[in-house]
């Protein structure tokens, strides 16, 4: 219990450290109900314009605005003379040809002049500008066009650009938050913001908050209206500039304030969750993301109907073991530097029997238990259907990974040997990922802390001997369980006895294997402590099965 509490506190602390937020400047907000249809336009968006009286003839269009409180303040905000006939619609490019810093809250005269061969038609409308004049002038143009009743009206094209960290290396920053309301043409609020991240291929969770009293009280925008555009589902996968639209609900009718602000809050989402509950009959498996371990920890749901993976940031580590490491195999564990340049995901737990059954329709394991690692019939060939790696990452459609790919749209696979050891070590250089070395090569307390092996089968964890329920021993620093012991785990690579001492980048392993074997890592419930070390390397034939042989799902980026 104490251990679980400490893990929970650590997770909360790390998440808070990587949560970024930023408030926009205060703007004028008027929540009165808008009854006329309107649309939103930003500079350089195309306007699709249709007019009955000018159809088939060349037209020109000029739109100007004048401050009625000061007739000397005038700007031409749109001017175009195409010289071409209008065939139902024509696209105009809005440009800011002249601009004055108009005071807010003044009443302005918007004048639109449409000129055809038969003469000119003038439309006028009074508007009230908000603090951001350029944006409001754009709204004014569109609003004036939309609200004319003497033409057939036109359609406005809305074009808006859509574009946890695993460790201290991953972080997200929110900057340049602004908001702008399109009153009097729309109650919608446009939220612009910029996201940056030190994470590779980040997945960021975003939330939007508002205040009408300059921050004294804060509310979740999604509870008082509809969020659309970037981040509408709470997830963003690209850095850079983003644009979100908030449409207030009826509770904001008649709300008027000069103290309206919007806050954007973002956090890295390092956990990917695949919902397998639909089983073999499901057309797809929904994929979602989490910022941290759920409140209450990883329940059995995440070991049965849901598959959870952790994002691993790229980096450089030393693969293999030092000559002084107890239990070392001097022939196969040469140390060499490995650099992984791309982030990847890997299972928080070994794939369990229930998870495999939901995907494949049956459980081949000899020692049954829904939350125990799947074994027995999970040969390399059963999982992938082909032995094309490293020349190709293809798998057969009816294999485990083939079905998982089809129903998620993600290229799930086994990890490479380098990815597996990098994820297992979690920046440790010791024999075990707890930061400890073995005190005895056969049986020791250090190994008993991190996984099930031959000398702790009677410790009662999970109520099983042999392998046991996943996730019962302490995880590594990146939150991965059972990387030591329980069952051997398949890797993609062919087994090479000697990987050499030269530095390598993103290795895929050799093109053929020693004795035609594929790599397995991590040791097993029936092996001595030395067999479960981070650097330990072994191999099995691609059709090999056994009750001490399983796997862990990975996802390259």
With CA atoms as reference, report the closest residue to 47 among 81, 94, 85, 83: 94
Cβ-contact 312, 419 below 8 angstroms: yes
Give me the pLDDT at residue 250, please.
82
Give me the pLDDT at residue 117, please.
64
Note down pLDDT in tens along the chain; length 557 residues: 434 443 343 433 333 334 688 999 998 888 776 543 333 333 444 444 444 444 455 666 666 667 666 666 666 655 656 555 544 444 444 333 333 344 445 565 666 666 666 667 665 655 554 433 344 444 444 444 433 333 332 323 222 223 233 333 458 999 999 988 766 556 788 899 999 998 988 999 999 999 999 888 999 999 999 998 889 999 999 999 998 989 898 888 788 888 899 999 999 999 999 999 999 999 999 999 999 999 999 999 999 999 999 999 999 999 999 999 999 999 999 999 999 999 999 999 999 999 999 999 999 999 999 999 999 999 999 999 999 999 999 999 999 999 999 999 999 999 999 999 999 999 999 999 999 999 999 999 999 999 999 999 999 999 999 999 999 999 999 999 999 999 999 999 999 999 999 999 999 999 999 999 999 999 999 999 999 999 999 999 999 999 999 999 999 98
Alpha-carbon gap, residue 187 to 178, rounded angstroms: 16
Alpha-carbon gap, residue 502 to 230, rounded angstroms: 45
Alpha-carbon gap, residue 172 to 204, rounded angstroms: 8
Using CB atoms within 10 A of its CB, is residue 146 exposed (0-12), middle (13-18) or buried (19+)? Answer: middle
Cβ-contact 476, 428 below 8 angstroms: yes
CATH code matching the domain that covers 46-147, chosen among 1.25.10, 3.30.70, 2.60.40, 2.30.30: 2.60.40
Other C-beta atoms closer than 10 Å to the C-beta of 482 total 30
Give me the pLDDT at residue 28, please.
82
Give me the pLDDT at residue 200, please.
87
What are the angstrom distances between the C-alpha of 307 and each of 352, 356, 553? 9, 10, 9
Other C-beta atoms closer than 10 Å to the C-beta of 60 total 15
Tokens describing residue 174: 């929110």
- Using DSSP, how many helices (H) and how many strands (E) does the chain show? 7, 28
Give me the pLDDT at residue 488, please.
98
What are the angstrom distances between the C-alpha of 189 and each of 29, 105, 161, 228, 229? 9, 18, 16, 11, 12
The gap between the terminal CA atoms of the chain, to the nearest Å, is: 36
Alpha-carbon gap, residue 185 to 158, rounded angstroms: 14
Strands (E), 249-297: 256-268, 271-275, 287-290
SS3 content of the chain, % helix, strand, coil (to 5): 15, 30, 50
**Beta pairing, strands 90-93 & 46-49:** antiparallel
Give me the pLDDT at residue 76, please.
65
The DSSP letter of residue 44 is: T
In angstroms and rounded to an integer, the radius of gyration of the C-alpha atoms of the chain is 31
Domain with CATH 3.90.1580.10 in the chain: 271-556
* Total number of residues shown for the chain: 557
Domain with CATH 2.60.40 in the chain: 46-147
Give me the pLDDT at residue 188, please.
80
Cβ-contact 89, 97 below 8 angstroms: no
Residue 518, beta-bridge partner list: 494, 540
* pLDDT tens-digit series, residues 188-244: 888 999 999 989 889 999 999 999 998 889 999 999 999 988 899 999 999 999 989
Give me the pLDDT at residue 44, please.
41
Give me the pLDDT at residue 89, please.
41
**pTM of the predicted model as reported, rounded to 2 decimal places:** 0.74
Tokens describing residue 153: 């009206």
Domain range 271-556, CATH architecture: Alpha-Beta Complex (3.90)
DSSP string, 321-385: --TTSTT--TTT---EEEEE-S-EEEESSPPBHHHHHHHHSS---SS--TTSBP-SS--HHHHHS
Tokens describing residue 439: 């005190």
Cβ-contact 468, 454 below 8 angstroms: no
Other C-beta atoms closer than 10 Å to the C-beta of 544 total 17
């Amino acid at each position: 219990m104490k251990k679980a509490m400490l893990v929970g506190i650590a997770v909360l602390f790390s998440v808070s450290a990587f949560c970024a937020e930023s408030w926009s400047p205060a703007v004028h907000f008027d929540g009165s109900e808008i009854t006329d249809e309107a649309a939103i336009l930003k500079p350089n968006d195309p306007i699709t314009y249709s007019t009955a009286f000018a159809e088939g003839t060349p037209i020109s269009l000029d739109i100007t605005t004048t401050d009625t409180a000061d007739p000397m303040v005038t700007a031409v905000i749109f001017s175009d003379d195409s010289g071409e006939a209008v065939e139902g619609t024509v696209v105009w490019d809005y440009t800011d040809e002249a601009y004055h810093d108009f005071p807010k809250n003044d009443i302005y005269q918007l004048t639109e002049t449409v000129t055809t061969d038969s003469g000119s038609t003038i439309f006028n409308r009074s508007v009230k500008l908000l603090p951001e004049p350029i944006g409001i002038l754009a709204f004014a143009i569109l609003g004036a066009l939309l609200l004319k009743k003497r033409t057939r009206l036109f359609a406005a094209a809305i074009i808006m650009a859509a574009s946890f960290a695993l460790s201290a290396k991953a972080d997200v920053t929110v900057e340049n938050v602004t908001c702008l309301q399109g009153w009097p043409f729309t109650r919608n609020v446009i939220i612009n913001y910029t996201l940056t991240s030190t994470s590779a291929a980040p997945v960021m969770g975003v939330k939007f908050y508002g205040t009408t009293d300059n921050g004294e009280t804060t509310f979740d925008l999604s509870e008082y209206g509809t969020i659309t555009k970037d981040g509408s589902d709470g997830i963003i996968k690209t850095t850079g500039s983003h644009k979100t639209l908030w449409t207030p609900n009826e509770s904001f009718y008649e709300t008027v304030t000069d103290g309206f602000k919007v806050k954007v809050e973002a956090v890295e989402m390092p956990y990917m969750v695949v919902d397998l509950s639909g089983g073999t009959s499901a057309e797809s498996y929904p994929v979602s993301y989490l910022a941290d371990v759920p409140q209450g920890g990883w329940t059995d749901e995440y070991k049965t109907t849901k598959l959870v993976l952790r994002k691993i940031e790229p980096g450089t580590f030393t693969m293999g073991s030092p000559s002084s490491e107890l239990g070392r195999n001097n022939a196969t564990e040469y140390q060499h530097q490995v650099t992984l340049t791309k982030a990847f995901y890997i299972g928080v737990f070994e794939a369990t029997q229930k998870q495999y059954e939901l995907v494949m329709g049956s459980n081949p394991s000899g020692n049954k238990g829904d939350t125990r690692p799947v074994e027995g019939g999970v040969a390399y060939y059963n999982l992938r259907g082909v032995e094309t790696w490293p020349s190709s990452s293809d798998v057969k459609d009816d294999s485990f990974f083939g079905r998982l790919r089809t129903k998620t749209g993600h290229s799930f696979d086994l990890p490479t040997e380098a990815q597996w050891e990098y994820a297992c070590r979690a920046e440790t250089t010791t024999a075990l990922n707890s930061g400890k070395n073995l005190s005895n090569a056969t049986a020791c307390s250090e190994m008993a802390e991190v996984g099930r092996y031959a000398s702790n089968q009677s410790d009662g964890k999970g109520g099983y001997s042999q392998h046991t329920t996943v996730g019962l021993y302490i995880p590594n620093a990146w939150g991965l369980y059972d990387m030591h012991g329980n069952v051997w785990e398949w890797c993609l690579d062919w087994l090479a006895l000697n990987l050499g001492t030269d530095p390598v980048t993103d290795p895929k392993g050799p093109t053929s294997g020693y004795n035609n074997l594929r790599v397995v890592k991590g040791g097993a419930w029936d092996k001595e402590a030395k067999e479960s070390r981070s650097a330990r390397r072994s191999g099995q034939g691609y059709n090999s099965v056994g009750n001490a042989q399983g796997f862990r799902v990975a996802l390259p980026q």
